[in-house]
Amino acid sequence: MKNEEMITNEFKPPERSKNIFTDFVNFIWNKPKIPTLIKFESEEKRIEYNERILQRIGLNVDKLSIQNIHNIGVEAQVSLVFNELLNWNGDSSCWPNYVARVDRIDGNLEQIRILPFGWNKYPFGLKSFLGIHLIPLFYLNSIRIKQAPDPFDFDNARYLLYDCSGGYPIGFFSLYVRSSIPELGETEHSQLISAVGFNFYGKVRPNSPKIINRIWEAIHNRVTSNVLTRIKQLCEWRLSKLENG
């Protein structure tokens, strides 16, 4: 009984949001203990790392002006972590669904709409908000869902890769999981990586820096960090349940 209590206290699933306010608290206000945004010593190091990730998923996004990569170690097998990614939907406790709901088109993971506040149409008969079309926020159309590694893959990689279109962003979104590489100082079973390349304005390169772009990027980074932290927590809790019955 004592051992079961220790397991219960150590491993818990992430607490679900109940409304827009708790989504804000859980995904924007909360600062995870483990930093996930990868920071680089130089622009050259950032470009080199980006190119390695993009080469693995078969993309070239040199023209996109925002490219952020987040990474977190997970004490669970790659297959278990990836199965959680395949369960990504509007009921996920790892995503701010009250603020930006995941809507699988026809129930498929290949095509997804992200709906602000869960709205699939504007309230009060409106056709836009202040002339801006925000429903959906954007579409995610699958480029590739790699559910099993190739025979020659040394890192056991699987990933979700989407093209982003409509709404405000353009570019790609990817959730990528692979085995840890000890030579890189990685000690957990798996590494979960989120990589994005898109632009708030729907342009390839804005002519000048915009304050709203920096605010959006800060929010994106905080939400992404919380999403990865929650996926880690969920996977490690689920593995503890499997190992201990």
Domains of the chain and CATH, by start: 21-243 (3.30.530.20)
Residue 103: its H or E element = strand 100-104
Strand, helix or coil for residue 59: coil
How many whole angstroms separate alpha carbon 128 and alpha carbon 98?
20
pLDDT tens-digit readout, 11-27: 799 999 999 999 999 99
80 and 231 Cβ atoms separated by less than 8 Å: no
Residue 186: its H or E element = none
Structure-token pair, residue 79: 């297959």
| Whole-number pLDDT of residue 121 | 76
Low-confidence ranges of the chain (pLDDT < 50): 1-9, 65, 207-208
How many whole angstroms separate alpha carbon 151 and alpha carbon 164?
29
